[in-house]
Structure 1
């Protein structure tokens, strides 16, 4: 049944069937566009408010106009630790997981220019260079439950039936020389986990279909979206501060997703394991224009606009399937165990470009004399303006991919508004801070009934002297998400894991003035 003498005849047709799905890349655009909290410990402690509060290195990659407040140079470093805890509910069971990872959240250098003549309106200029962690892709969760409706093999069955492909053609989805498959259904077919019910092939079925399946899954991701930013700002008459910045992003994202199916009292198979690995690398750039206006000694108003980030992405996707075989029936009351019980998929490389959302923010800071300040901001994020495109396919397929992904983005996501509020109390050298950020749900509809908005609570303390400063901040982030191991034609036949995410980010910023 699995003889593949002429497998290379079907390589071209299999490649056409493996074109990237637009929906997948619409979600990738969102993944690489969401930003929670950035900057130094001081600015993260006050809710991530960059818009109307200057005099901090966070302004380099926030509102660059804030550099105009500097009258002396500064060097700072901000290491951090992130603790992730997840609780996943899948069918009928609750599973917890977690991990702690160190990282470098921010590093910066600000060079303040010399003061100009008191008769000149432009008082001073400053330049800044910073490295910042814009996004963290660290995540881990696991899930388990007894599924009485399906297993991952049913996904392979439906793929083969949807293609209405003959058994002979399905054999061409596999290269026996390398023991690699071109498609998921081709791999499961070679492992005898899906089988033809007619002489030609379709419809396909699987053994042990009437057995419950104990499912155990794990997902772990690593990586970050980091940015080098170069900024320039000027101070006009100690009233208006203007800044420009240019950012260069680096995306590094990896995940491993494993699903193990164990068939309860299986007669042909004990179970199977499906493993996915994705490696993503990318580079991009953006620009920011910012303004801060000192309306009075006590009140500052600020605004900034950040262009979309234009990124080039390369991804490589790996899959592996293995079967735990009891014995395959041959039709004459005999069984056999195949020589091959583990198959790798041909790695899939794909290059594409992402245009992230435009961001615009406005805010105000009110100073309480020398006792501290209150600051708040409103940020608009235009998620519906995201785009994904590629040049790897034919001209018509490139156009279809771009248009289909664009349509998927506009039908799935919406523009959002993020709100941030924070304050600082001062007493001599001592500082105490607190903040709150609300990040709106970017989905038009609540998938799986989940509200994906986020709340970030932050607090911190610090000391600030003539030549040295140190700040310590903790941020607590809670939000809900969902994970679906596979999708079938009938929504009632598969399940999703509902995940409660809790993240604590602790960071310290130390710096010196010179």
Structure 2
């Protein structure tokens, strides 16, 4: 894990906060795999993601399972989704746009509706199984600018000087046959990114030692960073619900989650009027795979035929994850004989750890409109306990190190994140077979402190249309999400010597749900 700890303290794959310790890194990982914003079918997405006090939709499998008890016939449905990502990144006074599109399957559902005993109070029971994509990790952005104060090499120089190692010692960490270094410093040294002070060692051999520096130290650097990520946190859920007297609806589910995440970050510098190196780049790649489980229980109660209230409680998701982290250093020299290889790889690093996501609880209400129920208004509030995020490992060499890891993450969570209450509201109006929907969700900033005065709260605005008859339904929704984030390519002791990219994110999600009753 050592390699990744050094690099992530400089190159922030979370794209949100500056990490400087082990705990900060994996607190950020726990948050990454826990920030659920909106999911479900097109119908519920069009309503702002409200799921607490509504039923009769496959989204109830993953939201409030009590909603399954509203079914009086079985159903199968599928929801393909298109994610459109637009970013405007500002770095060192330069603004760079980036756009991308990603297709995925947002939801699959199979609901089996059953009946109760004739004349009994238990009117019906329902079982469902479904797949849902809780978080889509598709993201990409680019930023660039001219840096007159520092270089991406500077953190590596600081590391070399603090270790007080000679060039020969650094060379010993490089395998020329495999063209692979054991750490970033050794890879950078092979590519002449850093240059030491010459001396002759005790054996009479030429060597180098601290202080280390970089070539053309006074020349500006044109920096360019590209980041892409993909994957999803998805879940297969099995739910059961029952209906008592057509007034009280109770449900429970168990979810089996899966995490698949990959990211690729390339930071490149071109030396303005350079004499030794034309350009060089650092590439960081992260792959995380894992599985987990959670439980949820919920209830919906009809206060009157036109008003119903709901509540849902979900346990944290307990996930077991394995990550693989790799790096490489590339360089282009004016003297083509200077470099043995254009790229040197760093030995990949594997690490196993566990994550505990936040506890969640929600409450809401739905009011039906008109004698013929020509529509409804619905709203909900969701508590998310980000302060309860956690991570642990048994990969370290001794029990004390594993305990320190867990405590470091816990301290970082308490210093970084806060519990929030998300608010959602939506409405649906009906005209024959047609359904018209609209909604909004406000997700407060989960960070205790702002980075570069950026408020990272999110506002999601959604709308949709639907048609349904006795055998078939089709719904479409669109959700527009705007928020700000920041990305710091590297850090230095003096905050005036490095900058952060401020990123304006605009994301649109279009979902189509189709299904049939049987």
TM superposition score category, shorter chain reference: over 0.9
1:452-463 equivalences under 5 Å are 452-463=456-467
| 1:198, distance to aligned residue in structure 2 (A) | 6.0
- C-alpha change, 1:13 and 1:121, in structure 2 (3 Å) is closer
| 1:169, distance to aligned residue in structure 2 (A) | 2.8
SS of match in other structure, 2:219? coil
Distance, in Å, in 2 between the alignment partners of 1:276 and 1:360 is: 37
- C-alpha change, 1:16 and 1:105, in structure 2 (3 Å) is closer
Gap regions ≥5 residues in structure 2: 9-20, 200-207
Contact 1:309 1:357 in 2 (8 A): yes
| 1:39, distance to aligned residue in structure 2 (A) | 0.7
The match for 2:382 is 379
Distance, in Å, in 2 between the alignment partners of 1:248 and 1:14 is: 32
Contact 1:18 1:183 in 2 (8 A): no
Q: Does 1:282 align with 2:285?
A: no
The match for 1:136 is 136
Distance, in Å, in 1 between the alignment partners of 2:387 and 2:165 is: 37
| 1:212, distance to aligned residue in structure 2 (A) | 0.2
> What whole-Å deviation, never above 9, does each CA across 1:30-63 have from its counterpart, x for those lacking one?
1110001111100000000010011111000000
Distance, in Å, in 2 between the alignment partners of 1:445 and 1:14 is: 28
The match for 1:234 is 242
Q: Does 1:392 align with 2:400?
A: no
| 1:16, distance to aligned residue in structure 2 (A) | 11
Distance, in Å, in 2 between the alignment partners of 1:481 and 1:139 is: 12
The match for 1:315 is 323
Distance, in Å, in 2 between the alignment partners of 1:410 and 1:364 is: 32
> What whole-Å deviation, never above 9, does each CA across 1:347-373 have from its counterpart, x for those lacking one?
111111000000100000011131110
SS of match in other structure, 2:499? coil
- C-alpha change, 1:17 and 1:28, in structure 2 (3 Å) is closer
Distance, in Å, in 1 between the alignment partners of 2:436 and 2:328 is: 52
| 1:173, distance to aligned residue in structure 2 (A) | 2.5
The match for 2:473 is 469
| 1:81, distance to aligned residue in structure 2 (A) | 0.9
Alignment TM-score, normalising by the size of structure 1: 0.93
Q: 1:302 aligns with which of 306, 310, 328?
A: 310
SS of match in other structure, 1:449? coil
Q: Does 1:349 align with 2:350?
A: yes
SS of match in other structure, 1:202? strand
The match for 1:255 is 263
Runs of at least 4 residues of structure 1 off by over 6 A? 12-20
The match for 2:172 is 172
SS of match in other structure, 2:210? coil
| 1:150, distance to aligned residue in structure 2 (A) | 1.3
| 1:127, distance to aligned residue in structure 2 (A) | 0.6
The match for 1:505 is 509
Distance, in Å, in 1 between the alignment partners of 2:453 and 2:413 is: 19
- C-alpha change, 1:17 and 1:275, in structure 2 (3 Å) is closer
> What whole-Å deviation, never above 9, does each CA across 1:286-332 have from its counterpart, x for those lacking one?
0101011111111111000110000011111111101111259xxxx
The match for 1:211 is 219
| 1:21, distance to aligned residue in structure 2 (A) | 2.4
- For the aligned residue pairs, the C-alpha RMSD in angstroms reads 1.8
SS of match in other structure, 1:352? strand
| 1:266, distance to aligned residue in structure 2 (A) | 0.7
Contact 1:282 1:312 in 2 (8 A): yes
The match for 1:155 is 155
Distance, in Å, in 1 between the alignment partners of 2:36 and 2:30 is: 12
SS of match in other structure, 1:203? strand
> What whole-Å deviation, never above 9, does each CA across 1:243-270 have from its counterpart, x for those lacking one?
0000011111111111110000011211
Distance, in Å, in 2 between the alignment partners of 1:325 and 1:402 is: 44
1:490-501 equivalences under 5 Å are 490-501=494-505
Contact 1:80 1:507 in 2 (8 A): yes
Contact 2:233 2:258 in 1 (8 A): yes
Contact 2:42 2:477 in 1 (8 A): yes
| 1:398, distance to aligned residue in structure 2 (A) | 1.0
Aligned length: 495
Q: Does 1:42 align with 2:39?
A: no
Contact 2:5 2:22 in 1 (8 A): no
Which stretch shifts more, 155-164 or 120-129?
A: 155-164
- C-alpha change, 1:251 and 1:267, in structure 2 (3 Å) is same
